[in-house]
Chain A
Amino acid sequence: MLFSLIVNEAKKIVRSRYSGASLFGQIFVGILIVYLLSSAIVLGAMLNSILYKLTPGKEFDTFCGILLYYFLIDIPLRYWFQELPTLSVKPYLIQNVKKSQLINFLNLRSLLSLFNLIPLVLFIPFMVGNVLEKFGANVFIAFLVCLFFLMLANHFMVIYLKRKSIINTKWLVGFVLVIASIFLCTANNIFSISAISVYFFPQLLNNYWLALIPVLFFIWAFLINRSLLRDNFYLDIDANNKASSNLSLKWTDSFGELISNELKLIFRNKRPRNTILMSLIFLLYGFMLYNKDLFNEQSPRLIIIVMAYMITGLSSLNYMQFLFSWQTAHIEQLMISKHGLTNYVKSKLSLVRILNTVPFIISLFYGIMDWRIIPLHVALFAFNIGLILPFGVLINVYNTKGIDISKSANFNYQGVGLNSFLSTLIPLLLLMGIYGIVMSFFGFWPAVVSIGMVGFIPLFLQNWWIKQIVLRLKKQKYSIIAGFKEK
C-alpha cells in the first residue's frame, strides 16, 4: 500500500500540469538544486583543507565545534523553506487506506528534501578522511549515527513546529523569539553552541553509546509529530476556515476599490504575502551595505546603486512579475465588471507605486548613517515609479501565464517565464547603462541626478502610459484569459 502511494506521488510530480507548461521554471529550479548540491559536495571535499587553514593541527576539534552549529542554523532555514507535504493526502481520505499508513506516507514523503542531503555530502567526506582513519570504524559509526539522526531530528522537529504554527500563530511568534534569543546569546558569548559541540562530540571517542542521544531526540521528534498528525488529520482541510481579518480602506471610486481588493489579495493569500515579505526583508540589506566609506572613490559604487535600487524597489518589482497573474482565478470577473479596463490599469499602476513608496519611505532612515543616502534613494525612487513601473505594467500585458496564489512562494516557479525575468532584468540593465555612461563623462553625482531625471520626466506622461497600456490590454485580454485558464 505504501508503495502504491509512492508510485502515485511520483506520477503526480511527473505529470503535474504546469511542469510542462513552465519548462523554463523547471529548468531554473533544476539548475538551482544542482548548483546548491554541487557547492555542498565541493565544500565537503575541501572541508579538511579549509579547517586546516583556519586552525592548523586542530581540524578535528574545529569540526566537532561546527557540527552543532550547523544544525542550529539548519532549523530556521528549514522552517522558512521546507514545504509541508499535506495537500496530496486529500484524495485518499475517502479510499480504503488506513490512517496510520497515510501518516507514515506523509512522514516519508517529507524526507525528500535537499536539507536531508546537504549535511551528508558536507560532513561525511571529512569524517571518512579524519574520523575513520584516525579513530577506527566504531567511532566513525558513532559519528555517522549522530549526524544522521540529528538531521532527522531537526527535520521532524521543524515539521512539527510548522504544523503547530499553522494551527496557532502564537507558535510562530514563539519560534522566532526563541531562535532570535539563541542567536543573540551566541553572538554575545552568553553561552556558546560550539563549546557544547566541542565538549560533546569528542566524548564519542570513548563512549559510543552517547550516539544514542541524537537517536532518542529523533524518536521524540518523530513521535510528537505523529501524534500531532493523528489528532489533526483534517488539518489542511480546515486550516483555511479562519474567520476573515478586517482590512477595510475607504476609497471614493471604483479605482480605489480595486486597489483595496488587491491589498486584501496580498494579505490573504500565501504566495503574494510571501513575495512581499521576502522583499521587505531585503530592506535590512542596507545595514550590511551602507557604512561610512559608502561614497568614497574606492567603494564599488555601481554595486551600491544596484543594491540601493533593490532596497527601495524590490517589493514592487517582485510583485510586478505576476502583475495580472495574481488574479488568475477571477480574471473573467475583472474583464466584465463595470469598472472597465482603464480603471483596472490605473489601479494596477497605483498599486505597484504604493508597494514602492512604503519601503522607500522606510529606507530614508538610512539617511541617519549618511545624509547622501537620501538623494540617492530619491533618484532611484523617481526612476522606478516614473519609468520602470509603467513600463513594467506594459510588458506584463503580454504575460499570459496563470498562477495559483495559495501556494508558497519559496522555490515556486509556476508562472515564471521570459516575461517575468525581462521585467526585472531590463530595469537593472537600464539603470547600469545610464549610470555607466554619465559616470564616465561627468562623475558620480551627475549620474545619480540623470537617473532621477529619467524617471521624473515620464511622470508627467501618466495619461499617455495608461492609454497605451489599455490599448494593448484590449487586444491581449483574450490570450490572457485563455492562458490563465490553462494554468
Chain B
Amino acid sequence: MMIFIENLTKKFGGVVCANIPELSINKSELIGLVGNNGAGKTTLFRLVLDLLKPESGTVSINGIPVNGTEDWKNYTAAYLDDGFLIDYLTASEYFYFVGKLHGLNKQEVDDRVSSYAYFFDGGVDFKKYIRDLSKGNQFKVGIVACLLQKPELLILDEPFANLDPSSQIRLIKILQELNINDRTTIIVSSHDLNHIAKLSTRILLMHKGEIIKDISVSTETLDALVEYFNV
C-alpha cells in the first residue's frame, strides 16, 4: 500500500477543507482527483506532502506517517504550483540541482531531460531564469524536474491547466507509460474530465473536503462524471 489516510481532518477558519475517514492508494495506481473549485484537492495534496498540519488523523506513505520521518522525500516528487520551482535559477541549473539531490551527474540529468525533449517541443530556453519563462513553460520545467527523479510516487496539481493541447496529450502519454513501465504511483488533479477519464485507472471525486465517489475506470466513467458535474 503506497498511501494510507486515516481520520484525516483539516479546517481553515471553521470551514472543513478535508475530512477523509479512510483512504488507501495502492502501488502503481493512476489516480485522477476531480472536484469543483474549493473541493479540497490541493489541500489534500498539501496534507499528503506534510506541508499542512492536520487537525487530526495521519497520512502514511509506505506505512510510515509523513510527519514522522523524512524517508518519503527520497522517492516522492510533486509539482503543485510555481512555488515548487526555484525561480532565480535557470531551468538547467534547476534540473542539475534536483538531479544532484538524487545522485545523478550532469550527463545523466542531460540524458533524462533530453528524453523529454518532445514534451518541451523546443520552446524552452534552459539558459533563461525560470522566473522569466511563461507559466506554461514553468509548468513543463516543474513536471520534468519531477520526472527525472524517477519517483515511486508522483503528485501533480492541475498539470493540464497551463499546457497547450499538444502538450496535454503528450503529458497523458508520458504519465501512462511511466505508470505501466516503472509502476509509478501517480495522483493527478484536473478539471478536464475527458483527460482524467482517459488517463486514470481510478477516479476520486471530492466535494467539500470529502471523497464522495471512488470509481474504478470503465467505459461508463465519463458519463457518470459528466452527470455529477452537470448541475
Q: Given A257-B100, A333-B86, are A338 and B128 also a contact pair (CB < 8 Å)?
A: no
The smallest beta-carbon distance between B142 and chain A, in angstroms, is: 9
Quick check: which of B75-83, B167-175, B180-188 contacts chain A, the rest being far away? Answer: B75-83
Interface positions, chain A 297-338, Cβ under 8 Å from B, are 329-333, 335-338
Q: B52 at interface (Cβ–Cβ under 8 A)?
A: yes
What are 12 residue pairs bridging A and B, where the CB atoms are less than 8 Å apart in the complex?
A: A240-B131, A241-B128, A244-B90, A261-B97, A330-B84, A333-B84, A333-B85, A336-B76, A337-B101, A338-B102, A474-B67, A481-B52
Interface size grouping (class) on chain A? 20 to 34
A residues less than 8 Å from B78 (CB atoms): 336
The smallest beta-carbon distance between A338 and chain B, in angstroms, is: 4
Quick check: which of A36-44, A185-193, A262-270, A353-361 contacts chain B, the rest being far away? Answer: A262-270
The smallest beta-carbon distance between A274 and chain B, in angstroms, is: 15
In the assembled complex, the Cα of A359 lies from the Cα of B100 at a distance in Å of 30
Mark B93-129 against chain A: 1 for CB-CB distance below 8 A, else 0.
Answer: 1000110111000000000000000000000000111
In the assembled complex, the Cα of A269 lies from the Cα of B89 at a distance in Å of 11
In the assembled complex, the Cα of A478 lies from the Cα of B12 at a distance in Å of 13
In the assembled complex, the Cα of A336 lies from the Cα of B72 at a distance in Å of 9
B residues less than 8 Å from A337 (CB atoms): 73, 98, 101
Which one of B70, B97, B102 contacts A341 once the chains associate, using CB atoms below 8 Å?
Answer: B70
Contact yes or no, B88 A268, CB < 8 A = yes
Interface size grouping (class) on chain B? 20 to 34
Q: A254 at interface (Cβ–Cβ under 8 A)?
A: yes
B residues less than 8 Å from A248 (CB atoms): 93
- Tell me what chain A mostly uses at the interface: helix, strand, loop, or mixed: helix
Which one of A264, A332, A482 contacts B80 once the chains associate, using CB atoms below 8 Å?
Answer: A332
Q: Given A257-B101, A481-B51, are A330 and B86 also a contact pair (CB < 8 Å)?
A: yes
Q: Given A254-B100, A478-B53, are A261 and B89 also a contact pair (CB < 8 Å)?
A: yes
In the assembled complex, the Cα of A129 lies from the Cα of B128 at a distance in Å of 60
Contact yes or no, B74 A338, CB < 8 A = yes
Contact yes or no, B83 A332, CB < 8 A = yes
A-B contact count (CB 8 A): 75
Interface residue ranges, B against A (CB under 8 Å): 49-53, 67, 70, 73-74, 76, 78, 80, 83-90, 93, 97-98, 100-102, 127-129, 131-132, 149
In the assembled complex, the Cα of A338 lies from the Cα of B89 at a distance in Å of 18
Contact yes or no, A331 B83, CB < 8 A = yes
Interface residue ranges, A against B (CB under 8 Å): 240-241, 243-244, 248, 254, 257, 261, 264-265, 268-269, 329-333, 335-341, 474, 478, 481-482
Contact yes or no, A333 B101, CB < 8 A = no
A residues less than 8 Å from B128 (CB atoms): 241, 243-244
In the assembled complex, the Cα of A335 lies from the Cα of B98 at a distance in Å of 13
In the assembled complex, the Cα of A257 lies from the Cα of B94 at a distance in Å of 11
Closest to B90 in A: A244
In the assembled complex, the Cα of A154 lies from the Cα of B199 at a distance in Å of 63
Known: A244-B127, A335-B50. 18 other contacts (CB 8 A): A243-B127, A243-B128, A254-B101, A330-B84, A330-B86, A330-B87, A332-B51, A332-B80, A335-B49, A335-B51, A336-B49, A336-B51, A337-B101, A338-B73, A338-B101, A339-B101, A341-B70, A482-B52
A residues less than 8 Å from B67 (CB atoms): 474
Query: Which of A241, A333, A335 gathers the greatest number of chain B CB atoms within 10 Å?
Result: A333
The smallest beta-carbon distance between B160 and chain A, in angstroms, is: 21
In the assembled complex, the Cα of A28 lies from the Cα of B84 at a distance in Å of 33
A residues less than 8 Å from B100 (CB atoms): 254, 257
Contact yes or no, A264 B101, CB < 8 A = no
Contact yes or no, B76 A329, CB < 8 A = no
In the assembled complex, the Cα of A473 lies from the Cα of B100 at a distance in Å of 24
The smallest beta-carbon distance between A263 and chain B, in angstroms, is: 11
Contact yes or no, A268 B129, CB < 8 A = yes
In the assembled complex, the Cα of A264 lies from the Cα of B129 at a distance in Å of 11
The smallest beta-carbon distance between B14 and chain A, in angstroms, is: 16
Contact yes or no, B88 A264, CB < 8 A = yes
A residues less than 8 Å from B52 (CB atoms): 478, 481-482
Query: Which of B49, B80, B86, B127 gathers the greatest number of chain A CB atoms within 10 Å?
Result: B86
Contact yes or no, B73 A336, CB < 8 A = yes
Contact yes or no, A340 B86, CB < 8 A = no
The smallest beta-carbon distance between A481 and chain B, in angstroms, is: 5
A residues less than 8 Å from B51 (CB atoms): 332, 335-336, 478, 481
In the assembled complex, the Cα of A259 lies from the Cα of B190 at a distance in Å of 36
Which one of A240, A244, A261, A474 contacts B86 once the chains associate, using CB atoms below 8 Å?
Answer: A261
Query: Which of A243, A265, A330 gathers the greatest number of chain B CB atoms within 10 Å?
Result: A330
The smallest beta-carbon distance between B78 and chain A, in angstroms, is: 6
The smallest beta-carbon distance between B155 and chain A, in angstroms, is: 9
9 A-B pairs closest in CB distance: A478-B53, A338-B101, A268-B88, A340-B70, A333-B84, A244-B90, A338-B73, A330-B86, A332-B83
In the assembled complex, the Cα of A257 lies from the Cα of B78 at a distance in Å of 20
The smallest beta-carbon distance between A251 and chain B, in angstroms, is: 9
Contact yes or no, A265 B74, CB < 8 A = no
Contact yes or no, A265 B132, CB < 8 A = no
In the assembled complex, the Cα of A336 lies from the Cα of B157 at a distance in Å of 15
The smallest beta-carbon distance between A237 and chain B, in angstroms, is: 10
B residues less than 8 Å from A336 (CB atoms): 49-51, 73, 76, 78, 84
The smallest beta-carbon distance between A339 and chain B, in angstroms, is: 6
